[in-house]
Amino acid sequence: DAVTIVPADLDDSWTRDTAPNFVTRGGSELAASVFHFNAWGRKYQRFGRDAALGHRLAEALGVPTFSSSLFLEGGAINVDGEGTLLTTESCVLNQNRNPGLSKAEAEAELCESLGVDKVIWLPGDPTEKETDGHVDGMACYVMPGVVMFETCPNRGTEGYLISQENLAALERARDARGRSLEIIILNEAYEAEATSDIFCRSYINFYICNGGVVMPGYGIERDREARDIVARSFPDRRVAQVDVNEIAVGGGGIHCVTQQQPTVARQPPS
């Protein structure tokens, strides 16, 4: 009874990237901020139905929309709710999305379209084939001032070096309130068997919902370690670990197929 089904034709299942990014004002008004979508830099030819989903869902929910000038996806951003946004240069500044856009211009548009005051830039991962290094496979706010960061545990590999470069950038960062960040390290599911070239081995690609966290599992020994870290980081939430091997084969995880909508005291007039 608590679920409303909204039928919609899609090109892909990754609603994190195609659904609206919901914003609130004063805890009483809800709106939808919508990026342009071009299938992760035109990696796929058919994406018209996905590109229309943001506005279509907002219309179904009866909330006003704000259209960003950026070509981007929801998996490219993570926010703390207090004015700070995490993202990656390898994605936002990629020529396959926003050619000719400067870092300063991108930062100004992110602040305008999402109501944030500070953007923390991580280098990202230019070797990641599907998303060009979405931040949702790398870092996530646990609470303001505290970020969980996923690293590759296999020293000496390219993945390890890339994760260390991003970790160093996060350690240097200050948020919108001038705080340095407490960082919780979480190792990725490096031992999971890759059943495709784009297989997603990310534990941090989880979804934070009311009273809980739904996180990936792969049926490997490291699952327990990852679940324990997430459970300690969210002590007031129930953690449910779900086998994602059939999702991961397509390059994403739990976070990639979900998009949260905040509760507000009242809906704005449609």
Regarding beta strands 21-25 and 118-122, do their DSSP bridges make them parallel or antiparallel, or are they unpaired? unpaired
Residue type, 257: V
DSSP 76: G
Answer positive or negative: Cα dihedral of 73, 82, 171, 204: negative
Asked whether the beta carbons of 188 and 157 are under 8 A apart, the reply is: no
Stretch (H or E) spanning 218: none
DSSP 98: S
- Block residue for tokens 């926010």: 79
Q: What are 132's two structure tokens?
A: 């060009």
| Catalytic-role residue among 91, 140, 200, 256 | 256
Give catalytic status of residue 256 as yes or no: yes
Kindly report the number of other CB atoms within 10 A of residue 55's CB atom: 14
Asked whether the beta carbons of 149 and 112 are under 8 A apart, the reply is: no
**Alpha-carbon gap, residue 183 to 180, rounded angstroms:** 9
**Cα–chain center distance at 216:** 14
The backbone region for 242, taken as left when phi is positive above 0, alpha when psi lies in -120 to 50, beta otherwise, is beta
Residues belonging to the active site: 256
